[in-house]
Amino acid sequence: MTESPASALPRLSSRYAKLAWGTLAFNLLVILWGAFVRATGSGAGCGSHWPLCNGEVVPHSPAVATLIELGHRLTSGVALLLIAALVIGAWRVYPRGHRVRRAAAASGLLILSEALIGAGLVLLELVAHNASAARGFWVAGHLLNTFLLVAALALTAWWASGGAEVHLRRNGALAAVLGAGLAGLLLLGISGAVTALGDTLFPASSLAEAEAQTFSNTAHVFVRLRIWHPTLAILLAVYVMFAAWRAATDAAATDTTRRLALGLLGLYLLQLVVGSINVGLLAPVGLQLIHLLLADLVWITLVLLAASALAAPPSPATDGRMAERPVFESSPAG
């Protein structure tokens, strides 16, 4: 007996959701690898060539820095293919105008801009030991694009798993609170990226030396951020707590929303602890990567908290749980 298209749609949607979550997880690994490239000063491992590496498709007798940079390029290529599969899959599985299609399309555009920014950093030689202000702006733009990409991937996976459509007009005050939190995390992430760049370019051998560098009248702007980034993190912690509380206590809050709010608080506090240890140990590479991973998880959790808190109220049949499955109004090709 042949399976009808309508009965096959829920199964295809379930497979698509697994692909979306897997693509998000893989992109987190790519992000961490990119941070490892920066922290080890391997950004110039392929010279000023892109997409070739030192002018070759496969470098002969590559140095360690070359292998690190080439590995990042290869994993980034895999990420591009996975997101391309997400976009194609969204158009095959979901109808025209569906939120999964919109999120997947945004992911596709953002992975292309991510690749262009990465190429620009290499071609303009804003890598390795380059300490120009231009590099700081490019790093800030890269972080912003990366966070938006992660948000788009997270929403693709969330909505493919049954998350309801977001309605901003119905939740104006709450949307403003959560939107300000998202903007604050973007600013914190940018300051963290530039601070991490400063730690790589101007390493200190002791806390006393780090303090002297930070407060020196001739200190580079990247180094001065060593004091402003943790200060911003602590101040933002108060607001994140408020935003989480506001979302969890809203009249329409579901169990899912409350769990995400609690998870956000736990992850943010853990990030503060790891960040403090990172400062005390003078930013070792491994701890930098853990700190970045936590920053990404905090960002993803707040994005999903906003998606959950600002969604249409669940029907009584769902009993407050995220149980909506994708609604197919027409054929898969839509």
Domain annotation covers residue 332: no
- pLDDT, residue 1, reads 45
CA dist., res. 18 & res. 24, Å (int):
10
Q: Assess if residue 237 is contained within a domain.
A: yes
Give the chain's mean pLDDT: 88
Whether 150 and 173 share a structural domain: no
Judge if 138 and 172 occupy the same domain.
no
Angstrom CA distances, 172 to 93, 169, 251, 311, stand at 32, 5, 14, 12
In this structure, the answer to whether residues 184 and 246 fall within a common structural domain is yes
Dist CA 101 CA 86 (whole Å): 9
Q: Are residues 154 and 168 in the same domain?
A: no
What is the DSSP code (8-state) at residue 96? T
Q: What is the DSSP string of 203-243?
A: --SSHHHHHHHHT-TT--HHHHHHHHHHHHHHHHHHHHHHH
pLDDT for 219: 86
Q: How far apart are CA 317 and CA 325, in angstroms?
A: 13
* Same domain (yes/no): 97, 209: no
Which of 159, 183, 201 is the last residue before a domain boundary? Answer: 159
Q: Are residues 167 and 155 in the same domain?
A: no
Answer yes or no: is 329 within a domain.
no
What's the structural domain count of the chain? 2
Residues near 309 by beta carbon (within 8 Å), at least 6 away in sequence? 171, 174, 178, 247, 250, 252, 253, 257
Looking at the fold, whether 183 and 154 belong to one and the same domain comes out as no
331 falls within a domain: no
**Last-in-domain residue among 133, 159, 185:** 159
Q: Select from 242, 210, 208 the least CA-distant residue to 227.
A: 210
- Find the domain containing 31 and state its range: 8-159
Domain shared by 185 and 106, yes or no = no
pLDDT at 60: 75
Q: Is residue 333 part of a domain?
A: no
151 and 128, same domain (yes or no)? yes
Question: Quick check: 304 and 294 in contact, CB under 8 A?
Answer: no
Residues 62 and 139 occupy one common structural domain: yes
Q: How far apart are CA 277 and CA 280, in angstroms?
A: 5
My answer on whether 52 and 141 are in the same domain is yes
- High-pLDDT (> 70) share of the chain, %: 90
Question: Residues of the chain whose pLDDT is less than 50?
Answer: 1, 4, 6, 314-334
209 in the same domain as 148: no
Residue 2 lies in a domain: no
Select from 159, 182, 201 the last residue of a domain.
Answer: 159
pLDDT, tens digit, for every residue of 50-100?
888 877 877 877 889 999 999 999 999 999 999 999 999 999 999 999 999
